[in-house]
Amino acid sequence: MKKVITCIFLLSIFLSFSQVTNTRKWRKTEKDSLDNALLLYDEKNYLIALPIFDNIYHNHPKEEFIKYIFGRCALCRSDKHEEAYSALTEVYTKNKKVQDIEYDLAKAAHLTNKFDEASTLVESYLKNKRISPEGRKDAELLRHYISNAKFHTANPTKAKITNLGSIINTGADEYVPTITADESMMIYTYAGPKSKGGKVNAFLQPDPNGQYTEDIYLSVKENDQFAAPIALDSINTPAHDAAISLSHDGQILFIYRDNGDDHGDIYQSFMIGEHFSKPVKLKGQVNSYSWDGHCSLAPDGKTLFFSSERPGGYGGRDIYRAALLPDSTWGNVVNMGDSINTIYDDDAPFIHPDGITLYFSSKGRTSMGGYDIFQCTMNPVDSSWKMTEHMGYPINSTDDDIYFVLSAYGTNGYYSSGKKGGSGLKDLYLIETNFPQQKMLYMVKGKTTSEKNPVEADIKIEMTSKNNKVFKQFSSNEGSGNYLVTLPAGSEYKITYTYKDKSAQVFTLSTIGITGFTSTIHDVVFENKDTVKTVITPTITSTVVVTPTVAVVTNTAPVKTDNFVPRNKVHEKIMKYVEKYGDVSAEGLEFRVQIAAYKFPKNYTYKHLKGLGKVENLLLDDGITRITIGGNFSTIGKAWEHNKKVINKGQTDAFVTALYKGKRVYLEDLEKMGIYVQKQ
């Protein structure tokens, strides 16, 4: 019998087994693979070693030692937890004297939500007087996690979690989603076969047994769905490039880059037109000799929240804040204190567009296991942080839950996870939060143009209720003219738009008294130089705002749905809006029945739809031509009635699309704009 002992560290584990692995009849390649995997295991590179042990274990399922090592490595990957539990259970059944087996199996049971079994195992393990101080500390933390998991799973929230699907997710890793405040764009990190740098070792050298380098991908929303992503080739390099945060207006992308000669730093890239600029390292005191790996920019652009392993914290990773100094560098770095940080790792801060709610992940507090997501609220009076809350189950789980972001209106969140049933490794997920309270903020977005062309305008926002204090200064996008800003509740604001020698325009609004999310679309057209033009919005007293050019409409009795059976989720969504707003009309609002769309000319024939009205090609400013039938309709109810006729004629993918002042808008946008308002 040939004993394979390549590492002294593993000797004690080998001796726990009555029979050591017999490799006499193994192929040389398998023996070499095992030697490499054991070295990786000894260095605690469990994720890299796992695929090797996985292959060996399934080729030699009766080898108890291999089964055990595979089980321990599989604990580190969330889509392998069930396999880890099965393998470790088999080992424990045959040999209860294997070193730390009760702790390992307790961890596997905890990760697979078998809390009673996990609790019994960890208590039995803690009775062993021979376990090391470190082992006892780990077991006591696991006992704490198990207790928290029992409580949270017994008291679930109303959150709903959905995989974003195959358009975004692949069999590789997708993680750290970042979004604009209005969810129109998402940027995330990818690591897999398409990675620019391929597989590399710790020194960024090509290595078939290494890990894929990280690349950054972008996806925009089309028809309420994220479209096929594209790689940001202006940023991605053969090294690791990871998206970590996006400013709420989508104009600044923060990335983490480790080029092998430092400990990893934070960089920023600016959107210029339709492309992001070459990343530059953040200037000032945010980057240090230690690891600095995540950040989030406040809505005013003056405060940056970031996580770091620099000395002087509470333990492990801590969350800090930095201020933007007059010379455009980041300084005045301050630890966020024990209202947020713990003796364990605290990471991945995300400051919501409301400016007062900070989301972050922590391995401490009432975590169910590993990182859990928490929220903390700032008191605007004294800027203190309090009311740290666990986000509950099912948002949080027994595994790591991290990199959570939330839309401005608070209904949709996103994060990455390796949940069972996903597309591969880590996937991106949509979280329908169903929070009991709405976010209180005002979002203004629009486009700046001159002579019908988009222009880069300077935008200055002042708080007139606070002695004209400057809240933010920025520019609209030079390529599209688009801009977006979120304004916290409780103030009156003046927004001044300037472009070259054209007449300045002023837009005033109040967020005093708002009780929820509000939104306005405000397009600015620069004309010849003249006097300043001012647009004033009415004082906000409810949770919705009507764009100044939108007529206030009355919501009549909702149209009752009939027995029509929807063919897809889009139809289900339309029917819900018909039920609530079927007879609502407004100036500039129209609906069409869309039967196809294309970006490049194609030939379509619709003989089967003869008699259902004129077929028209509708080219919109997004460059996509929509084919519609039956003309325009003043209400969604009328359009849906025609839509059903088209479906019944065999065009089952037809659906109602909305246009406002000639621009494509989503149905939910009509609610955000205040056009759709239900009667109280």
pLDDT tens-digit series, residues 239-287: 899 999 999 999 999 999 876 666 679 999 999 888 899 999 999 999 9
Q: Residue 421 burial (CB < 10 Å; 0-12/13-18/19+)?
A: exposed
| More confident site: 140 or 665 | 140
What is the pLDDT confidence band of residue 5, given thresholds at 50, 70 and 90? very low
Of 386, 414, 410, give the one whose Cα is nearest residue 402.
Answer: 414
Helix%, strand%, coil% for the chain, nearest 5: 20, 30, 45
Last residue of a domain, one of 487, 511, 536: 536
The amino acid that residue 544 corresponds to is V
pLDDT tens-digit series, residues 83-135: 999 999 999 999 998 989 999 999 999 999 999 999 999 999 999 988 999 99
- 662 shares its domain with 614: yes
Cβ atoms of residues 675 and 589 within 8 Å: yes
pLDDT tens-digit series, residues 450-489: 998 999 999 999 999 999 999 999 999 989 999 999 999 9
Task: Count the domains in the chain.
Answer: 4
Last residue of a domain, one of 124, 153, 182: 153
Of 544, 517, 509, give the one whose Cα is nearest residue 680.
Answer: 544
pTM recorded for the entire structure: 0.77
Is the pLDDT at 79 greater than 90? The verdict is no
- 184 shares its domain with 148: no
What beta strand segments (E) does 476-544 contain?
482-488, 492-498, 505-510, 517-521, 524-526, 533-536
Cβ atoms of residues 548 and 537 within 8 Å: yes
Q: Residue 159 burial (CB < 10 Å; 0-12/13-18/19+)?
A: middle
Q: What is the mean pLDDT of residues 294-303?
A: 96
Task: Measure Cα distances from 290 to 23, 46, 262, 264, 312 in Å.
Answer: 43, 23, 9, 8, 12
- 64 shares its domain with 120: yes
Last residue of a domain, one of 432, 457, 492: 432
Q: How many residues belong to the chain?
A: 680
Average pLDDT, the chain: 87
DSSP for 270-329, written as a single string = EEETTEEPPPEEPPBSSS-SS-EEEEEE-TTSSEEEEEE--TTSSSSSEEEEEEE-TTS-
State the DSSP H helix or E strand holding residue 378, giving kind and residue range, or none if neither: strand 372-379
In a domain? residue 560: no
- In terms of residue numbers, what domain contains 101? 8-153
Cβ atoms of residues 242 and 216 within 8 Å: yes
What beta strand segments (E) does 145-279 contain?
160-163, 173-179, 185-191, 199-200, 211-212, 215-222, 225-226, 230-231, 240-246, 252-258, 265-272, 275-276
Which CATH number is 464's domain given? 2.60.40.10
pLDDT tens-digit series, residues 153-186: 999 999 999 999 999 999 899 999 999 999 999 9
pLDDT tens-digit series, residues 589-609: 999 999 887 655 555 677 788
- 478 shares its domain with 392: no
Is the pLDDT at 557 greater than 60? The verdict is no
* β partners of residue 188: 217
Distance, CA of 320 to CA of 295 (rounded, Å)? 9
Q: Which of 104-113, 407-416, 622-631 has the lowest mean pLDDT?
A: 622-631
Distance, CA of 337 to CA of 27 (rounded, Å)? 56
Q: How far apart are the first and last CA of the chain?
A: 81
* β partners of residue 211: 200
Task: Supply 335's token pair.
Answer: 């630890």
Of 68, 76, 70, give the one whose Cα is nearest residue 13.
Answer: 68
Residue 674 pLDDT: 78
Task: Measure Cα distances from 225 to 182, 183, 446, 457, 569 in Å.
Answer: 13, 10, 21, 30, 12
Tokens 């609502």 map to which residue? Answer: 584
Whether the upstream peptide bond of residue 558 has omega within 30° of 0, thus cis, is no
Is the pLDDT at 548 greater than 80? The verdict is no
Residue 594 pLDDT: 92
- 247 shares its domain with 228: yes
In a domain? residue 297: yes
Which CATH number is 66's domain given? 1.25.40.10
Q: Which of 36-45, 136-145, 480-489, 551-560 has the lowest mean pLDDT?
A: 551-560
